[in-house]
Structure 1
């Protein structure tokens, strides 16, 4: 295992669309990359972060200063590759100190062609994003660091932003994959892959679901063809306002009374299916230490999150779904900024949360939500049996 690239001191520069520049050292692959610059506050779980498809199109900044000491292994990956568009760290580890490591983080970044930068003041970048909001950026490393500052800034400003982008097709499976239930099977589950994490599939399998992982282009007729006991929308990248086809599919399922559970992007699409709107957060929620209030119990959960958009809905009381799906309530609220963190439909079997209950590399406070969905599906199956 080698870390030679950490010591050759190739130059690199991070350029933000407001013209701010941060000069440092190359980390990972050399070249140029563009994306929305976002920060994540997790002090651990960098491999799970990088392999989370939700980070497609984003240059990820780690606020924790020391990154890479446990290396990378084949077991902890959330997908088959690193999805982040780029990577920003302050102090990459010079050694790998974990018996489970297969390679260094630097080697993994190079293997997947991920351009990164190290040795910059990540706290200064974070403070700028917090004050001015997430913005487009570019990392130019190796020979590309010598491109003129004006040309670098022009390229950054010409790169696409996150608003209005549908990235589901870039991260979804292209054909159906079936994962058997663990233990007694309670039914087939239609899972629309919008950028799902491997640990989500595992958690659903543990609840007795035979998971049918479906491409994001799936039609409702194809969903019905597997005779599912329920429907699940995963996390994923992009702007929920650019996913009309997924909203229409979900509305058709809700009209049929199919039990539904959505997380992260699936929460935003559930909101849209109910007739609500979504909006872009100033700098989003990313990390494994986000406090959320479960309004039904008064319990505060520490959650793992990764989202830059949110649902616009009244926090208090119940309201009628503008799309005609009955009464709805906001079930969970973010305690940092009162953002909607969960929706619960009172007249149909459907709910969602904005955070990640599988929380690989993070807290397990919200893992019970998979059990809640299992109970919802069993209740629905029982009612169908009674009316058969």
Structure 2
């Protein structure tokens, strides 16, 4: 069945539809990962976006029960060069087409994804529509030009109520702005006693849970669309060690007086080199973000830049100079991607342990 992608600049790509037959509008972005399509399409950070995968063959190892990063994928569409109709993998339970049909997500294959990626790299992310072949193109273009991208993505994907993921280790309050399951998994592996809480929780409510540490998750969209989270972070800073990832990193920066800006086409892939300025080491990282912390805005704040992206020099890590708090723009839990930076979760627990020892020492000397 022929279907098409129409961009807001009037560019048309005609291909073959798979998955749902629904028409869908979203911000068109691209991801350069060679594997990990199941994690990508289920990552809540893609909420409201139409994701283009640059690797030419997608779906060849099927869909399994274990690699989801959320229960309900929030992407508005998936675009690929070619799908594999007969996957081959011992874990495979269904095809990519079957999954998208069940989740009511439209897909489009058979277009020139290289050309589409070049357009996005040249002009920046564009609004687009996956739709049937018989629509009025001029009407769709006008609709796209007047369409406002959503600002409530975090509210859409965040948990509506708190829930525990019990362990016998340190108590970590994990604020869910669109949390990937990989983050929770890494805390569980370390036996943390995790309480996952909604994005709009207050500082008082967080502290009432008596956390040993606070984690700010990844999530979709513009950090400035979540002002309540910025106020919450201001209220908990210094009260417990804090670790932020992706959107959590950006919200932390805003709470400390820095600024965030939208990138031309963002970082989305599994091979982004990041340099640790304190050690000189370089990690290959998994990334998915369209906003970044503005480097110049770090001046006159209590923040120190700890990591930078080697491809474009953007901020990839921050540390508070007074309080036990650090954040990174990339994904140390990977899922998908390399696990070079997985040790950051250990660093977080060591920060908690140090903070508790210092607190005990103060109490003993009082």
| Pairwise TM-score range, normalised by the shorter structure | over 0.9
Partner of 2:130: 139
Cα offset, 1:177, TM superposition: 1.4
Cα offset, 1:209, TM superposition: 1.7
Match runs of 1:120-159 below 5 Å: 120-140=111-131, 144-159=132-147
CA distance in 2 between counterparts of 1:59 and 1:243 reads 22
1:384 aligns with 2:359: yes
Which one of 300, 304, 310 corresponds to residue 282 of structure 2? Answer: 300
Match runs of 1:34-113 below 5 Å: 34-113=25-104
Which one of 98, 106, 112 corresponds to residue 115 of structure 1? Answer: 106
Partner of 2:162: 176
Cα offset, 1:121, TM superposition: 0.2
Cα offset, 1:362, TM superposition: 0.9
Number of aligned residues:
363
SS at match of 2:133: helix
CA distance in 1 between counterparts of 2:278 and 2:288 reads 23
SS at match of 1:96: coil
SS at match of 1:284: strand
CA distance in 1 between counterparts of 2:42 and 2:219 reads 12
SS at match of 1:82: coil
Which one of 202, 211, 230 corresponds to residue 228 of structure 1? Answer: 211
Deviations 1:253-283 (CA, angstroms, capped at 9, x unpaired)? 01x4321100000010011011001000000
Cα offset, 1:157, TM superposition: 2.0
CA distance in 2 between counterparts of 1:161 and 1:175 reads 26
TM-score (norm 2): 0.97
Partner of 2:227: 244
CA distance in 1 between counterparts of 2:96 and 2:147 reads 27
CA distance in 2 between counterparts of 1:350 and 1:293 reads 19
Cα offset, 1:151, TM superposition: 1.7
Partner of 1:214: 197
1:11 aligns with 2:2: yes
Cα offset, 1:314, TM superposition: 4.1
**Structure 2 residues without counterparts, runs of 5 or longer:** none
Which one of 332, 342, 345 corresponds to residue 370 of structure 1? Answer: 345
Partner of 1:4: none
Q: Is the 8 A contact 1:35 1:159 kept in 2?
A: no
**Structure 1 residues without counterparts, runs of 5 or longer:** 1-9
Q: Is the 8 A contact 1:304 1:362 kept in 2?
A: yes
CA root-mean-square deviation:
1.3
